[in-house]
Structure 1
Amino acid sequence: QRGQVVVARIGDEVTVKRFDRKRNKIILLPENQDFEPIEVDSRSDDFAIEGLAVGVIRDGI
């Protein structure tokens, strides 16, 4: 779903980004403005969503 934080595999690399989709392109948006978005062709065999972020656990709060 758009806006969901995902664990994505692109080739041999794995990244955690916010998911967006525009036509045949998947756009992985970083939370940190120092990094650029990653655009992926949704038909690429080298791309997969490996997982979804569902929550944050913090110790000591």
Structure 2
Amino acid sequence: MKRDDILDIAKYASSKLVTALSPSGSRITKDVAQKIKDAGIRAVSISVDGPELSTTTSGESQGHTR
């Protein structure tokens, strides 16, 4: 996550709204996942695309069928 204070912002937002987060999955550890949960984030969407062309579906019309 690019902002060091994103979970503080999310915690505040979660006290007022239902919040969701869509981070890159590459930096999500058990500790980070727990902090996301503790911040009150109700939904998380994590991309499973990889850095190599063979592991990404972005821009491919049939990527989901491989």
Q: Same fold (TM over 0.5)?
A: no
Q: Which has the higher strand share?
A: 1
TM-score when scaled to structure 1? 0.25
- TM-score normalized by the length of structure 2: 0.24
Larger fraction in helix: 2
